[in-house]
Structure 1
Amino acid sequence: MSAKRPNILFIMSDDHGYQAMSCYGSRINETPNLDRIANEGIRLNNCFCTNSICAPSRAVILSGAYSHVNGVKTLKDSFDGRQMTFPKLLQASGYQTAMIGKWHLGHGGDHDPTGFDYWNILPGQGIYRDPEFIEMGLKRTIPGYVTTVTTDLSLQWLQDRDNSRPFLLMCHYKAPHGPWQPDEKHAELYEDVDIPVPITFYDDYSNRASAAAAAKMRIDRDLPKRIPKYTAPQELSPEEAKKWQYQHFIKDYLRCVTSIDENVGRMLDYLKEEGLEEDTIVIYTSDQGFYLGDHGWYDKRFMYEESLRMPFLMRYPKEIPAGVDSDAFVMNVDLAPTFLDYAGIPIPEPLQGDSIREVVRGHVPQDWQTSVYYRYWMHLDPVHGVYSHYGVRTDKYKLIYYYGEALGASGTTDISTPKEWELFDLVKDPHELNNVYALDEYSSIVAALKTELERLRLKVGDVD
């Protein structure tokens, strides 16, 4: 195959909500370097994950298959590296491949990264300061801040690569995953600024399924139990304490985002200096979205919009017009076939997604997906307490089913919670505050969405 096939720089962060990116209209921060990608390429407004939790989303991206197919349904599952992945196929076709940064899919034996000429990963979540890395199986501690170190390693690999061959570099940041620890350069950023709270900050979880009220992700009640530094002074009233906690949490989070933005700028500058801009696809995304005080929460997991939606920016001057955006539905399961498409590799049968190449060129196929299927499997995990659920999202509606049980090893029900439905009219209620499932005027819509939900479940083979 021709060496003129595009290089691929795939940058992914962890838990970066689209609300904290100025190219998505952020009210709370600026991200000038990420905006460069959007301004010189495309911003996707409706990119969704199939399972809003770190390891499962990463497994979906690697394999191009849903959680029940690739085997990583929860954080307890490790990725079986013997299965097909897009890096393996790119490597076999002549690409140089590297994975640097957060892997979070297990390590050792069949769980180490496969399909890479070089890999240098954080163990588990990794840490922010003086992080340990596992380089091709060997552990070493590298002094410095993890976002900067990950970028340094990525730039070094780019400099040392074989210039005669195309490359795939997966530069995956730990940030801005908690516990949020800014670098020294940005430790005082936003110190004298009052960050505005989200519109749904004071959500009381009424008129919703019981799952919302049961979740243990509240900034005021639950965050201090997980990270004590966010415990408010005792003399504050409950409302004052909640605001105090939000300000301290969100500022640390945004400081971590600023470090990502500056380091992405270093990567973009390198491509420009080396004359690689025209021949390199650059993608920036996150493994899922994140609640930044939305609904009074931190974390993700729910099918509500802030965690379902992933930021997704893509630049490739040879094909993608500059400064455009798209409302077409895209999912993380579509990334693997997209990479293969650009590399000129036939998309094999096991992959369940579709290439978005025509979508980002501005030519959305007539039969392109107009609904997406989601499933969260970690029923009542002890830290966050979110009920398992699955659902369907269309352009106007979202139907969610909390199916109320988790099966034990024996096949019997381990834990039961209420079986409940939620329907949100996304046109009238974009913040998802009013469950209209039981209203008569929505009965025909409910019926149509249930039919579509079952169609999607059958299509992807999730029929348990």
Structure 2
Amino acid sequence: IHRNWMADTCDLNLYEDKEFTYPENFFDTYDGRLAAASQEMSIAKDMDLIYDLKMQRSDKETPLKSLYEQFYGRMDSAQKAVWDKFYTPIIDKFYKDDLKGEDLVRWKYQRYMRDYAKTVKSLDDNVGKVLDYLEKEGLLDNTLVVYTSDQGFYMGEHGWFDKRFMYEESMRTPLIMRLPEGFDKRGYIPQLVQNIDYAPTFLELAGVSVPSDIQGVS
């Protein structure tokens, strides 16, 4: 679910009626925390209206507009038609409303969260396709399926998006494993895990001895 959260065209209309809850520290003032205040991942200041929020218009310029145009240019004509049909009324209303201050920041957050949720939906769908294939081919009970990611993303906590500051909200990442048949360990693992632990875990599950020079533990 990586920036800039361009949803699959079949998912564009999802979550448009949902109002996402603002984190309690959404309008964090960073009192006494200058290092935090200087991070360039503020929804208010650093979230690009065109690249991140898709508010593309020929008479508007933003620092990352050209990058958005590159991504937009990858679509074929049919995809662009669906994309433009969805975004044009949102773009027109946005520039007409001319939001300022906290109203603009709240609008940006809702737009961000809706786009983010749509890309999560697409990821979920494709994880499902992999599992369905394994089941259909009779491979599911002989396959270790691992779901993980890189650093956790800020979803508005401290007024942020991205992941470039070590606060609690961004410390954790998903790590979910569907074990093959015959392995009875399941449930929540309370120990801390690092990505150097993946290799010895996979080797042990496969019945292979773990070389002594591998860092990490199963």
TM-score norm. by structure 2 comes to 0.74
**2:48 maps to which residue?**
224
Do structure 1's residue 214 and structure 2's residue 77 form an aligned pair? no
Which residue of structure 1 aligns with residue 28 of structure 2?
203
**Could you tell me how far apart the structure 1 residues matched to 2:49 and 2:214 are?**
41
The answer to whether the aligner puts 1:332 opposite 2:198 as a matched pair is no
Amino acid of the structure 1 residue aligned with 2:3: G
Per-residue CA distance 1:86-112 (angstroms, 9 max, x = gap)? xxxxxxxxxxxxxxxxxxxxxxxxxxx
8 Å contact kept, 1:205–1:213: yes
Q: Is it true that 1:341 corresponds to 2:166 in the alignment?
A: no
What residue ranges of structure 2 are gaps of 5+ in the alignment?
56-93
Are the aligned partners of 1:341 and 1:347 in contact in 2 as well (CA < 8 Å)?
yes
Aligned to 2:214: 351
1:287 deviates by 1.7
CA deviation after TM superposition for structure 1 residue 230, in Å: 5.8
For residue 16 of structure 2, the aligned residue among 191, 195, 198 is: 191
Letter in 2 for 1:294: E
How many Å separate the matches in 1 of 2:185 and 2:155?
Answer: 31
**CA shift at 1:347, angstroms?**
2.3
Mapped to 1, the partners of 2:37 and 2:98 lie a distance apart of 27
> Which residue is 1:287 aligned to?
150
Contact 2:7 2:119 in 1 (8 A): yes
Contact 1:200 1:294 (C-alpha < 8 Å) held by counterparts: yes
- 1:375-454 pair list within 5 angstroms: none
Structure with more of its chain in helix, by fraction: 2
Secondary structure in 1 matching 2:3: coil
SS in 2 for 1:283: strand
Structure 1 residues 230 and 247: alpha-carbon distance in aligned structure 2, compared to 1, 3 A threshold: farther
Residue 255 of structure 1: aligned partner: 118
Q: Which amino acid is the alignment partner of residue 218 of structure 1? A: S
Which letter maps to 1:354?
Answer: V
- In the TM superposition, residue 282 of structure 1 has moved relative to its aligned partner by 1.0
Of 285, 296, 299 in structure 1, the residue corresponding to residue 159 of structure 2 is 296
Q: Is residue 2:179 matched to residue 1:318?
A: no
Q: Output the CA distance in 1 between the equivalents of 2:208 and 2:9.
A: 44
Instruction: Give the RMSD, CA atoms, in angstroms.
Output: 2.0
Q: For the Cα contact (< 8 Å) 1:337–1:353, is it kept in 2?
A: yes
Q: Which amino acid aligns with 2:200?
A: P
Which structure shows the bigger proportion of residues in strand conformation?
1
Following superposition, the deviation at residue 277 of structure 1 comes to 2.1
Flag the 1:247–1:354 CA change in 2: closer, same or farther, 3 A: same
Runs ≥4 residues deviating over 3 A = 228-234
Give the secondary structure class of the aligned counterpart of 1:330. Answer: coil
How high is the sequence identity, in percent, across the aligned residues?
44
Contact 2:39 / 2:164 at 8 angstroms: preserved in 1? no
What is the CA deviation profile of residues 396-451 of structure 1, one whole-angstrom value per residue up to 9, with x for unaligned ones? xxxxxxxxxxxxxxxxxxxxxxxxxxxxxxxxxxxxxxxxxxxxxxxxxxxxxxxx
In structure 2, relative to structure 1, the CA distance for the partners of 1:228 and 1:346 (3 Å cut) is: closer
**Offset at 1:179?**
1.3
SS in 2 for 1:314: strand
Please report the TM-score for the alignment, with normalisation by the length of structure 1. Answer: 0.36
In structure 1, runs of 5+ residues without a counterpart are: 1-175, 356-464
- Rounded to whole Å, the distance in 2 between the matches of 1:226 and 1:351 is 45
Question: By how many angstroms is 1:253 displaced?
Answer: 0.9
Instruction: Give distance in 2, aligned partners of 1:319 and 1:211.
Output: 46
How many pairs are equivalent?
178
CA contact (8 A) 1:217 1:299 kept: yes
Task: Within 5 Å, give how 1:158-173 maps onto structure 2.
Answer: none
Aligned match for 1:239, one of 102, 108, 111: 102
Tell me, what secondary structure is at the counterpart of 1:348?
coil
* Structure 1: distance between partners of 2:195 and 2:184: 19
Q: Aligned in 2, Cα 1:301/1:346: closer, same or farther, shift over 3 Å? A: farther
